[in-house]
Amino acid sequence: MLVFWEQRLVILATPKTGSTAIETALAPLASLSVMQPGALKHSDARNWQRFLRPYLRELSGQDFTAVALMREPIDWLGSWYRVRQREDMFELPGSTMGMSFADFIEGHLDTPRSVVADVGCQSAFLRGDDGSACGVDRLFRYEAIGGFVAYLEELLDFAIELPEVNVSPKGDGALPDALRARAQSRLSADYALYASIG
């Protein structure tokens, strides 16, 4: 999470949407950069609305604009699957070494979710404290990150070049049609929010 005081801007770090690259590029400009621990770095929209927004409003006397990125839902799960394929994850409970993407998706759809695929969902991360579907002021598509960068460049008056950091390894994202359709149905809240991004 990054806070820009003069611009009254907060960037929430939706997991697996380039947040490390954004922080690497912009942390030197930010008034506050929260990169560790993960629970603070990835403060969700509910915590933003409930705790951080009122605090910043009280300090500054003005409201802050919160922005975030969202990724196509199955591609987002694919990024979690691939990052957990890394060798440094091999002995951890979340490792996907030796597991197919289809098995990972099945584990995500299970009730309860399998330990390896229990990564939450973007719609829960972005949900407002009042139950609204989106708890940020502006939401951008990760797949069109150029628009997000252009928005920040204009607001911050700074040329931004995002580095390649914390990139998931390449991997097979193939799914049987029936499983993809079932996943899309179960992820309907994510897909509805993703479709609403203008």
Q: Is the dihedral of CA 70, 75, 76, 82 positive or negative?
A: negative
DSSP codes, 69-104 = EE--HHHHHHHHHHHTTSGGGTTSTT--TT--HHHH
pLDDT, position 69: 98
Sign of CA dihedral 184, 186, 182, 99: positive
Phi/psi for 113 (5° steps) reads -65, 150
| CB atoms closer than 10 angstroms to residue 88 | 7
Close Cβ partners of 147 (under 8 Å, ≥ 6 residues apart): 140, 141
Average pLDDT for runs of 10 along the chain of length 198: 98 96 96 91 96 97 98 97 84 86 96 94 97 97 98 96 81 91 98 96
How confident is the model at residue 87, as a pLDDT? Answer: 76
Whether 197 contacts 67, CB under 8 Å? no
Give ∠ CA 23-152-40 in degrees, rounded to 5. Answer: 35
pLDDT tens, 146-173? 999 999 999 999 999 999 877 777 777 8
- Which amino acid is present at 167? V
